[in-house]
Amino acid sequence: MRTLTVGKKPFAANPWLRVCEGLTLIGFLLTLNSMWHTTGLSFTLFVVLAVPSLLLSATVVLVLLIDDLRKRYSLFELEEYEPGEVVFRQGDLADRVYFIQKGEVEVIRTVEDKEIVLARLGPGEFFGEMAFFVSDGRRTASVRTSTPVELLALGKENFTRLLGAVPAVQKEFSLKATERIKAHGR
Amino acid sequence: MAAWLSSFITPVQPVAPLPYEVDPVLVWLQHVSLGSALAGIVLGLFLVVGQRRLGENSLKWLCVGQFVLLPMLVIAMGNIVGLQQAKKVEFCQSCHRTMGFFVNDMQDPNSQALAALHYRHRWSPEDQCYACHASYGMFGDVRAKWKGLQDFLKYYTGTYKIPVRMHAPYVNAECLKCHERTPKFTDSDYHAGALLEIRSGELRCLDCHGPAHAEQVRDENSHRR
């Protein structure tokens, strides 16, 4: 499956969640109005505005949740990026580990509004695992593409299972994470 | 004199409704939907303000509650309560420019219209508009609500015309559903002789017993389409 992903964001920061909050607030306020005193106008507003708003927001949130689950449990899903796109940002909640198939990416850390390029990674290398070893599930650096890139994304849940099932793989990833910490700090 | 004076001073106590005047199921459903809507608003505000303090999984579970479970509860309960409340005379009267005239006429103690007689003598003890204007059976209710929704939209978009007309001519079945097996109906020789014509609608009840309501005065400014 080929997925073109632009500006990926974690679940909580998704702007559609804000839209849904607005829609449900309207829906609940109109419901209060209708239940408090049912008149032709209040019930019409409930039927015509509140019910569609609530149904729409429920549908959007369900789609977002399913999409989020799909990402967490993804098994080497292919993602394509154009040059200069941000794969994830420092501080984002981590949901997957990436393996580079084609192209090159830059690992960037922002310190006092200055961008420091920590590493340039190419085909055969991986990134995004640090969040699962050393931080509280948040990205320790940003990653930006410098050429057209193809990445294989492994969801958090499957990555964790893989580490648990194959100790050699866990050792390999731990060593790499330790190496990176030594080289660049947290 | 003292009693007369005290009637101005003593606050009037609201009269508590008698048990038969309250539908406990409806009141309970109303409280559930009010509570759910309030909980939804509070939870929504909490999600906006305290979202950053929540863990990823807690946030998602709260989102399921806030955006999926509570709305489903509110929609289900709100529709049941709303549709039940929509049977009440006060509800019909809230579209006062179109329905106010008919309700006022029905509640007028001097009116001789059929609806007023039914109201005054409590032949229809409650939900008097709905009792005569909703057809028999489950689909009668559904049709009445569906037509009612169309009427709301016409009313609030101003695309109605006064005098208002019924969607379809009033059918005898709406009268017969209560009257047909009553002694007053069956004892009448005229009814007995013309029963087939009455049942088929060839003879209309309102031709002899009407009018159901007083005639609404034409208003040229009521149709803004």
Nearest CA in chain A to B156: A41
Q: Which residues of A touch B48 (CB under 8 A)?
A: 21
Q: Which residues pair with A120 in a beta bridge?
A: A106
Number of domains in chain A: 2
Angle between helices A51-72 and A15-36 (to 10 degrees): 150
Q: Topology of B89-222 in CATH?
A: Multiheme cytochrome fold (1.10.3820)
**Is the CB of A24 less than 8 angstroms away from the CB of B40?**
yes
- Given this model, what pLDDT does residue A15 score? 84
Least CB–CB distance from B67: residue in A12, A24, A68 = A24
Are A64 and A101 in the same domain? no
Least CB–CB distance from B86: residue in A11, A17, A43 = A43
Least CB–CB distance from A32: residue in B38, B72, B81 = B38
Please provide residue A80's backbone torsions phi and psi, each rounded to the nearest 5 degrees. -115, 140
pLDDT > 70? residue B12:
no
What are the pLDDT digits (tens) for B110-152? Answer: 999 999 999 999 888 888 888 888 766 667 677 777 888 888 8
Q: Which residues contact B178 (CB under 8 A, 6 or more apart)?
A: B123
Residue A4 domain-assigned (yes or no)? no
Tell me which of B27, B32, B47, B63 to substitute to probe the interface with A (most A C-beta atoms closer than 10 Å).
B63
Residue A144 domain-assigned (yes or no)? yes
Are A59 and A81 in the same domain? no
**Is the CB of B85 less than 8 angstroms away from the CB of A57?**
no
**Is the CB of A41 less than 8 angstroms away from the CB of B94?**
yes
A66-100 b/e with 16+ CB inside 10 Å = b? eebeebbbbeebebbbeeebbbbbbebbbbbbbbb
Nearest CA in chain A to B96: A40
Q: Which residues pair with A96 in a beta bridge?
A: A155
Are A134 and A76 spatial neighbours (Cβ–Cβ below 8 Å)?
no
ipTM here = 0.74
From CA A82, how far away is CA A5, in angstroms rounded? 10
pLDDT > 90? residue B35:
yes
Which residues in A55-138 belong to E strands, given as ranges?
Answer: 77-81, 86-88, 96-102, 105-111, 114-121, 126-127
Are A60 and A93 in the same domain? no
What global pTM score does this model have?
0.67
The mean pLDDT value for B42-59 works out to 82
For residue B85, the distance in angstroms to the closest alpha carbon of chain A comes to: 7
Question: Which one, of B70, B8, B86, B4, lies nearest residue B37 by Cα?
Answer: B70
Are A34 and A52 in the same domain? yes
SS percent in chain A: helix, strand, coil, step 5: 50, 25, 25
The mean pLDDT value for B88-112 works out to 89
For residue A24, the distance in angstroms to the closest alpha carbon of chain B comes to: 7
Are A117 and A177 in the same domain? yes
Are A64 and A105 in the same domain? no
Token pair 């990823």 in the structure block, residue: B56
Are A91 and A178 in the same domain? yes
**Distances from the Cα of A154 to the Cα of A14, A68, B57, B99, angstroms:** 21, 13, 19, 64
Residue A3 domain-assigned (yes or no)? no
Domain span holding position A130: 77-184
**Is the CB of B68 less than 8 angstroms away from the CB of A61?**
yes
Are A140 and A178 in the same domain? yes
pLDDT, tens digit only, all 186 positions of chain A? 334 443 345 677 788 888 999 999 999 999 999 988 888 888 889 998 999 999 999 999 999 998 888 877 777 888 899 999 999 998 888 888 999 999 999 999 988 888 889 999 999 999 998 888 776 778 889 999 999 999 999 988 888 888 888 888 888 888 888 888 777 765
Q: Which residues pair with A143 in a beta bridge?
A: A88, A107
Least CB–CB distance from A61: residue in B33, B67, B79 = B67
Residue A122 domain-assigned (yes or no)? yes
Q: What is the DSSP letter of A50?
A: I
**Is the CB of A40 less than 8 angstroms away from the CB of B91?**
yes
Are A92 and A170 in the same domain? yes
Residue A2 domain-assigned (yes or no)? no
Are B134 and B141 spatial neighbours (Cβ–Cβ below 8 Å)?
yes
What is the amino acid identity at position B102? F
Top pLDDT among B6 and B215 is at B215
**Is the CB of B68 less than 8 angstroms away from the CB of A58?**
yes
**Is the CB of B94 less than 8 angstroms away from the CB of A34?**
no
Are A62 and A121 in the same domain? no
Residue A36 domain-assigned (yes or no)? yes
Residue A86 domain-assigned (yes or no)? yes
Least CB–CB distance from B71: residue in A27, A34, A36 = A27
Are A45 and A129 in the same domain? no
Are A97 and A153 in the same domain? yes
